[in-house]
C-alpha cells in the first residue's frame, strides 16, 4: 500500500470560515511562541528543548491564554510535531532555521482522525457540525478513508483540504520505448525523439499586469482596506501563474511516464543555477526541480524507471553519432546548432544532448551502476 495526498478545494460557510480563522491564528501564535522559546533557550543557555518538554509547556500555555481552547487541541499537537520535524534538517545542516509564521502568505493546520470525521463522502472537522463543501474532482471518490488531513488557505484567500489516503498502485503494461530528456529554457524539455515542448513563460505572460498592480500596492497606506484589496489582486496573479505552471508540469510528466518504460534525465543543481543574476527568473519559471520530482514519484507508482545521469556529463558538447563520440572543448550557449569536426554530422544542440543523456542513462542502467529501481543513482 502506498500513501498519497488528494487535494481538493472547498468553500466554507461563514461559521466555518470564522472557526478556521481562529484555528489558523491560534496555530500561528503557538508556533511562533514555541519557536521563540526554543530560540531563546538555545542562544541564552545553550539548551536544546526536547519535544516532551514542549508538549508539557503547551498545557501551561493553554491555561495562560484561554482563547486557545476555542479550537481543537489536535492542531497544537500536530504543530509541535511539525516544528520538531523542521529542526531535524537544520541540525543536519541540510536546511535553514525554521521560520516564524506570518498571516498574509498562506496558512495551514493539520488534523488527525481525532479531529475530523469522514462519513458517506462527507468530511466533518472538530468544532463544526456541518460538512465541508468540497468541490470533488475525483469521480470515483477517495481510495480509502483519510488518515490525516491538512486544511490550508492560500494568499489569494482560497481554501484547500489535502487528504492522506492509502491506495494500491498498479504497474502499467511494459512498453518497449525509452527516452532521454534535456531540460532547458527555450524549450522546457527536449526529447531524444526530437520533440520540443516550447516554453509558455507564464511569469512573462503576466509580468506587465503584476508590475502594474505592485506599483499601485506600493502607494497604498499600510493597514488600509484598499491596500488589502490590492494585496489580494497581486496574490491572485501569483496563484494564476503557479497554477498554470503546475498544471503544465503535471500533464507533461504524466505523458512521459505513460509513454516510456525508461526516462533518462540530467541531475541539475537548480539551487545553484538560480543564483545567476540574469537567468534566475527564467530558471525559476522553468520548474526543473519539480519536473524531475514528479517524474520520480509517478514512475514509482506505475513501475517505470527514471535514470539520473551526472550533471558533469558533457551531454551538449558530445557528438551523438554512433561510433563517433567527439567532445568539443567549448560550446557557447548561443550556439544552437553545430557540426562535428570529426564525422561532419550537423546536430541540434538540445536534441544531441537528449540523445547523449539517453545513451548514458541506458548504459549505466544496463551495467548495473545505477540500479534497477524506479529512481536510480548517478552515471559518470
Residue 286: closest CA among 185, 359, 192, 212:
185
What residues form DSSP beta bridges with 337?
348
The DSSP output letter for 73 is: T
With H, G, I as helix, E, B as strand and everything else as coil, classify residue 306: strand
What letters, b where the CB count within 10 A reaches 16 and e where it falls short, cover 258-279? eebbbbbbbbbebeebbeeeee
Integer Cα distance of 224 and 99 in angstroms: 26
What letters, b where the CB count within 10 A reaches 16 and e where it falls short, cover 59-92? eebbeeeeebeebbebbbbbbbeebbebbeeeee
Residue 327 CB contacts under 8 Å (≥ 6 apart), including other chains: 314, 317, 318, 319
Catalytic residue among 140, 207, 266, 310: 266
Would you say 15 and 130 are in contact if contact means Cβ atoms under 8 Å apart?
yes
> Does 266 participate in catalysis according to the annotation?
yes
Give Cα 313 distance to the centre of its chain. Answer: 26
Strands 189-191, 262-266: parallel, antiparallel or unpaired by DSSP?
unpaired
> Does 182 participate in catalysis according to the annotation?
yes
With H, G, I as helix, E, B as strand and everything else as coil, classify residue 329: coil
Catalytic residue among 47, 70, 170, 182: 182
Q: Which residues are catalytic?
A: 182, 266, 350
Amino acid at each position: 500500500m502506498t500513501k498519497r495526498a488528494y487535494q481538493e478545494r472547498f468553500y466554507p460557510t461563514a461559521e466555518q470560515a470564522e472557526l478556521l480563522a481562529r484555528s489558523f491564528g491560534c496555530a500561528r501564535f503557538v508556533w511562533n511562541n514555541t519557536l521563540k522559546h526554543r530560540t531563546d533557550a538555545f542562544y541564552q543557555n545553550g539548551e536544546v528543548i526536547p519535544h516532551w518538554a514542549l508538549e508539557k509547556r503547551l498545557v501551561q500555555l493553554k491555561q495562560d491564554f484561554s482563547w486557545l481552547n476555542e479550537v481543537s487541541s489536535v492542531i497544537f499537537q500536530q504543530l509541535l510535531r511539525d516544528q520538531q520535524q523542521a529542526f531535524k534538517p537544520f541540525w543536519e545542516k541540510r536546511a535553514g532555521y525554521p521560520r516564524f509564521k506570518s498571516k498574509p502568505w498562506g496558512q495551514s493546520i493539520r488534523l488527525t482522525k481525532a479531529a475530523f470525521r469522514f462519513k458517506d463522502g462527507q468530511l466533518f472537522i472538530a468544532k463544526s457540525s456541518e460538512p465541508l463543501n468540497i468541490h470533488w474532482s475525483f469521480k470515483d471518490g477517495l481510495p480509502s478513508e483519510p488518515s490525516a488531513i491538512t486544511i490550508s488557505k492560500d494568499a489569494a484567500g482560497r481554501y484547500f483540504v489535502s487528504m492522506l489516503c492509502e491506495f494500491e498502485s498498479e504497474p502499467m503494461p511494459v512498453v518497449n520505448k525509452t527516452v532521454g530528456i534535456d531540460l532547458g529554457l527555450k524549450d522546457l524539455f527536449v526529447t531524444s525523439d526530437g520533440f520540443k515542448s516550447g516554453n509558455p513563460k507564464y511569469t512573462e505572460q503576466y509580468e506587465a499586469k503584476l508590475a502594474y498592480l505592485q506599483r499601485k500596492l506600493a502607494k497604498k497606506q499600510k493597514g488600509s482596506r484598499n491596500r488589502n484589496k490590492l494585496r489580494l489582486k497581486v496574490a491572485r496573479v501569483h496563484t494564476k501563474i503557479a497554477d498554470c505552471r503546475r498544471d503544465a508540469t503535471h500533464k507533461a510528466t504524466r505523458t512521459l511516464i505513460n509513454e516510456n518504460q525508461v526516462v533518462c534525465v540530467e541531475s541539475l543543481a537548480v539551487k545553484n543555477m538560480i543564483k545567476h543574476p540574469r537567468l534566475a527568473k527564467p530558471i525559476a519559471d522553468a520548474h526543473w526541480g519539480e519536473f524531475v520530482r514528479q517524474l520520480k514519484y509517478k514512475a514509482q507508482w506505475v513501475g517505470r524507471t527514471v535514470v539520473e545521469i551526472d550533471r558533469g556529463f558533457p551531454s551538449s558538447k558530445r557528438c551523438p553519432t554512433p561510433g563517433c563520440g567527439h567532445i568539443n572543448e567549448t560550446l557557447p550557449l548561443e550556439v544552437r546548432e553545430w557540426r562535428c569536426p570529426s564525422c561532419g554530422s550537423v546536430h541540434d544542440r538540445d536534441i544531441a544532448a537528449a540523445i547523449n543523456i539517453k545513451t548514458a542513462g541506458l548504459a549505466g542502467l544496463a551495467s548495473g551502476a545505477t540500479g534497477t529501481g524506479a529512481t536510480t543513482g548517478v552515471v559518470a
